[in-house]
């Protein structure tokens, strides 16, 4: 079922059912129409989206290089998923709260989180580094799917506060097999919570292909829980923006949750500890490269004569400069105090935790006594 109508044509209308996959920009850069979704963007807005896509890919490349050089402990690349993240991130309103997993670097960019704070987490020098309340962007969550419950609880809270905001929660196709995600579906449906479930279906749950995870398209699972689901071309930033805006508007206006399945592809490894050549074919990767989310926007800008080669060169140069600055600032991040691990765990002092901290401090102090 789509957001506003049951799946298929309305009875008696004789109309054709809408396409299963919402797409507004083809991989070749051709603008197409969809019977239910559209987005009206100026040339400057499209160029701004292109800039976002290029910059977050550059930041991702820089982080990968830092990891290979031993400067980050691990990195979860967003390569190939830029449109899903920028399109949904730019659909958010100032008061909406986003709950990421650990790969939403593009959404963090849209919420004005300094990328060096994200890298600090993977460098092991901070606990995330940003204030979720300042950016309305929650901390990264490593435990698969647990953030869906956090987001559902938050959505129920703002519903009771009477705000006109919504929550959005990001997770992957593998997380849909977790109990936490299904419990979040049950609760959000029962409470009619103002939440958007944004599943980035990148086809692989580490090494487990999608066909071993579900017998039906993931977006259709929502129907069993009593709320709408929709599949969007996750490599089409226009379509993702349009679908996410509609879902958020519906959540804010009291129509409850929506499940968005952004159909995309993880072009890199699951993380830098993974080797995807051991479980997937190169031909599959090559096929998805032809659907690159950045190249299709570039092709559209060129065909429509909205941008010239000077524009693209300037964006490339800006992305390079931002990437170089990120590298420099990452290497300059100071190591934290050893006791920093106990900070910001609870809102107020917690006796057992304080005891652990004090014993650890005493233990460290014993080394100083020996060396005197």
The two tokens of residue 127 are 């606990």
Q: Give me the catalytic one of 231, 270, 296, 327.
A: 270
Whether the CB-CB separation of 174 and 138 falls below 8 Å is answered with no
For tokens 């979704």, name the residue. Answer: 37
Please say if 270 is a catalytic residue.
Answer: yes
Hey, what's the torsion of the CAs at 160, 162, 163, 169, to 10 degrees?
Answer: 30
Stretch (H or E) spanning 260: strand 258-263
Instruction: Pick the closest to residue 242 from 8, 22, 10 (CA basis).
Output: 22
Residues in contact with 283: Cβ distance below 8 Å, sequence separation at least 6, in sequence order: none
**What is the largest distance, in Å, between two alpha-carbon atoms of the chain?**
89
- Tally Cβ neighbours within 10 Å of residue 84: 34
Helix ranges restricted to H, the chain:
43-68, 82-89, 105-110, 115-123, 132-135, 146-161, 179-191, 221-225, 237-252, 282-289, 293-303, 309-331, 351-371
CA 162, CA 143: separation in Å to the nearest integer? Answer: 30
CA 104, CA 106: separation in Å to the nearest integer? Answer: 5
Please say if 219 is a catalytic residue.
Answer: no
How are beta strands 204-205 and 195-201 bridged, if at all? unpaired
Q: Give me the catalytic one of 57, 266, 296, 327.
A: 266
The two tokens of residue 344 are 């910001």
Q: What angle do CA 284, 287, 291 make, to 5 degrees?
A: 130
Which value, in Å, is the radius of gyration of the alpha carbons in the chain?
22
169 to each of 1, 58, 182, 188, 228, how far by Cα in Å? 20, 24, 13, 12, 16
Instruction: Pick the closest to residue 250 from 217, 226, 228, 222 (CA basis).
Output: 228
Q: Give me the catalytic one of 279, 346, 350, 363.
A: 279
CA 343, CA 157: separation in Å to the nearest integer? Answer: 26
Active centre residues (catalytic): 266, 270, 279
């Amino acid at each position: 079922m789509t957001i506003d109508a049951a799946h298929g044509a309305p009875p008696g209308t004789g109309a054709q059912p809408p396409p299963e996959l919402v797409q507004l920009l083809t991989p070749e850069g051709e603008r197409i129409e969809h019977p239910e979704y559209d987005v009206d963007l100026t040339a400057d807005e499209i160029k701004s989206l292109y800039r976002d896509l290029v910059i977050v890919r550059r930041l991702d490349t820089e982080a990968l290089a830092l990891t290979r050089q031993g400067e980050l402990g691990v990195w979860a690349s967003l390569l190939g998923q830029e449109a899903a993240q920028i399109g949904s991130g730019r659909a958010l309103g100032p008061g909406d709260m986003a709950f990421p997993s650990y790969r939403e670097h593009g959404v963090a960019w849209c919420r004005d989180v300094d990328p060096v704070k994200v890298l600090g987490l993977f460098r092991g020098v901070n606990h995330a580094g940003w204030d979720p309340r300042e950016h309305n962007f929650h901390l990264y969550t490593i435990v698969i799917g647990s953030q869906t419950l956090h987001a559902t609880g938050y959505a129920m809270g703002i519903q009771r506060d009477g705000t006109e905001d919504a929550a959005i929660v990001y997770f992957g196709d593998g997380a849909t097999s977790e109990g936490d995600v299904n419990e979040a579906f049950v609760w959000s449906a029962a409470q009619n919570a103002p939440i958007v479930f944004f599943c980035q279906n990148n086809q692989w749950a580490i090494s487990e292909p999608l066909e071993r995870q579900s017998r039906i398209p993931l977006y259709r699972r929502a129907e069993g829980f009593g709320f709408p689901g929709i599949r969007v071309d996750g490599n089409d930033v226009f379509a993702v923006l349009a679908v996410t805006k509609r879902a958020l508007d519906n959540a804010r206006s009291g129509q409850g949750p929506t499940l968005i399945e952004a159909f995309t592809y993880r072009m890199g490894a699951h993380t830098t500890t993974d080797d995807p050549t051991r479980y997937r074919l190169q031909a599959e990767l090559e096929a998805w490269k032809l659907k690159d989310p950045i190249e299709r926007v570039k092709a559209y800008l060129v065909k429509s004569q909205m941008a010239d080669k000077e524009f693209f060169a300037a964006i490339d140069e800006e992305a390079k400069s931002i990437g170089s600055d990120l590298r420099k600032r990452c290497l300059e991040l100071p190591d934290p105090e050893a006791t920093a691990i106990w900070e910001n765990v609870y809102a107020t002092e917690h006796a057992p935790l304080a005891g652990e901290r004090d014993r650890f401090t005493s233990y460290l102090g014993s080394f100083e006594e020996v060396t005197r």
